[in-house]
Amino acid sequence: MRKLFITLGLITAILAVILSVLPLSNLSFIPAIFALILGVVALFVSNKSGASKKIIQYIFLLTIISLVFATYKSIFSESEVVNTKELQEKEVESEQEAIDELEELNIEAEDLEDINLDE
- Write out the residue range of the structural domain in which residue 42 sits: 2-75
In-domain check, residue 110: no
pLDDT of residue 114: 63
Count the domains in the chain.
1
- For residue 24, the model assigns a pLDDT of 82
- Tell me what pLDDT residue 112 has: 59
- pLDDT tens per residue, range 41-62: 999 999 898 888 899 999 999 9
Residues 6+ apart with CB under 8 A from 46: 2, 52, 53, 56
Residue 104 belongs to a domain:
no
Question: In a 3-state reduction of DSSP, which class is residue 81?
Answer: coil
Q: Report which residue type is found at 116.
A: N
In the predicted model, residues of the chain with pLDDT beneath 70 are: 79-82, 106-119
Domain-located, residue 16: yes
